[in-house]
Amino acid sequence: MIPTSVVFTGAFLMAVARFGSLNALEQDKRNPFWRRRLGAGLPSADTVGRVFAQLDQAGLRRLLHGLYDRLKRNKALDGTVLILDGHETTASYLRCCPGCLERKMQDGRIQYYHRVVLAMLVGGCLPFLLDMEPQQKGEDEVACALRLLGRVLQDFPRAFDLVVADGLYLGAPFVRFVLRHGKDAVIVLKDERRDLLQDARGIFRLEPPTVEIEGSIVRRMWDVDGLTSWTAMDVPIRVVRSLETRTVLRQRTKTPETTTSDWIWATTLSSKKASTRTVIDYGHDRWLIENKGFREMGTFWHADHIYRHDAGAITAFLLTLMVALNLFRAFVQLNIKPVLRERHTQLYFAQRLTAELLVGPTIPP
């Protein structure tokens, strides 16, 4: 009785207008805008949730792909770095569904949660959310990420040359998989790879760093190639370290304050392909998925809100949100004049968009 297209368009506009919940959307049911846009009344929150639980997810991914192709054709996408990162979408002691993951907490209680891995393309003027994959029961994040990476490699074989990920991903199966597909990896090096880290640290102690000053940041860089201490890997690994000291003047006390961060990455990139500084920049790109990925999706686009507690619905809503966010970012980047864009935050444009969508133009053209 209600076409899927009406339900999808309603939910898509809910995402674009950042309503936050199906119930908030329902409050706006009487707005004549909906009948005008959808050609039918706005479906109930329950109907939207029920339809999304059964929605064709491959179709949603094709929608993302279509958007990617269009932006690529228009030369608007020039990033070649793929960032993979896991994120928890919900956690609860009370509510669970058949797709929930479970973990035992310190107090003995069972917590239910959902987790997804997101694939995002960065490195150019426009970040693009390519795909996501929900973590299944009994598998870890890396297994889920490998499934996602397999699909992304199949669907977007030439979209990227490099995979950047957190320390969790620095295992031989993951790095080998990336190499086998002709790509390179830059992965945070943590204590879990003790043999490699100890070996690299030994060399860092002996070699003087290259020092670079960039504004208020002093960067001491080390670059060690051809390490073979990670015995599970059959290729030598390169390790790059950046010890960064940032000095800022405290506004209130007018005293300088210094913060230091120590970054170490393992990479398969040769020094011919990427300089020390380039590897460091790639490594720092990972923070983009925090800022431009889930943090922004959670803070401004309500990605952390579960529209319906059902594994299928969670995936379908997230994919829909990814379409909305990609489209919104492309609009801000490509359709708004730089002078105007620089004067406002992304949130300002998102709010204007919501207002104009529901009310009409808010200022004379």
Alpha-carbon torsion 230, 233, 237, 243, what sign?
A: negative
Nearest to Zn ion of 15, 100 (CB atom): 100
* The residue type at 336: I
| Span 7-36, contacts to Zn ion by CB under 5 A | none
Nearest to Zn ion of 131, 310 (CB atom): 310
> 241: closest CA among 217, 215, 267, 259?
267
Q: Give the integer Cα–Cα distance in Å for 6 and 35.
A: 10
Task: List, as one string, the DSSP characters of 266-333.
Answer: EE---TTT--HHHHHHHHHHHHHIIIIIIHHHHHTT-TTS-SSSSHHHHHHHHHHHHHHHHHHHHHHH
- Taking the complex as a whole, how short is the minimal distance between the CB of residue 320 and Zn ion, in angstroms? 18
Nearest to Zn ion of 77, 318 (CB atom): 318
- Taking the complex as a whole, how short is the minimal distance between the CB of residue 24 and Zn ion, in angstroms? 22
C-alpha distances in Å from residue 10, one per residue of 32, 38, 138, 222, 310? 13, 7, 35, 53, 19
Nearest to Zn ion of 95, 344 (CB atom): 95
- Taking the complex as a whole, how short is the minimal distance between the CB of residue 23 and Zn ion, in angstroms? 19
Nearest to Zn ion of 97, 224 (CB atom): 97
- Taking the complex as a whole, how short is the minimal distance between the CB of residue 104 and Zn ion, in angstroms? 17
Site stretch for Zn ion (CB under 5 A), options 1-9, 100-108, 256-264, 326-334: 100-108
Residue 100 binding Zn ion, by CB under 5 A: yes
| Span 70-99, contacts to Zn ion by CB under 5 A | 97
| Span 221-280, contacts to Zn ion by CB under 5 A | none
Residue 314 binding Zn ion, by CB under 5 A: no
C-beta separation of 130 from 64 below 8 A: yes
- Taking the complex as a whole, how short is the minimal distance between the CB of residue 96 and Zn ion, in angstroms? 5
- Taking the complex as a whole, how short is the minimal distance between the CB of residue 114 and Zn ion, in angstroms? 5
Nearest to Zn ion of 200, 319 (CB atom): 319
Q: Where on the chain is the footprint of Zn ion (CB under 5 A)?
A: 97, 100
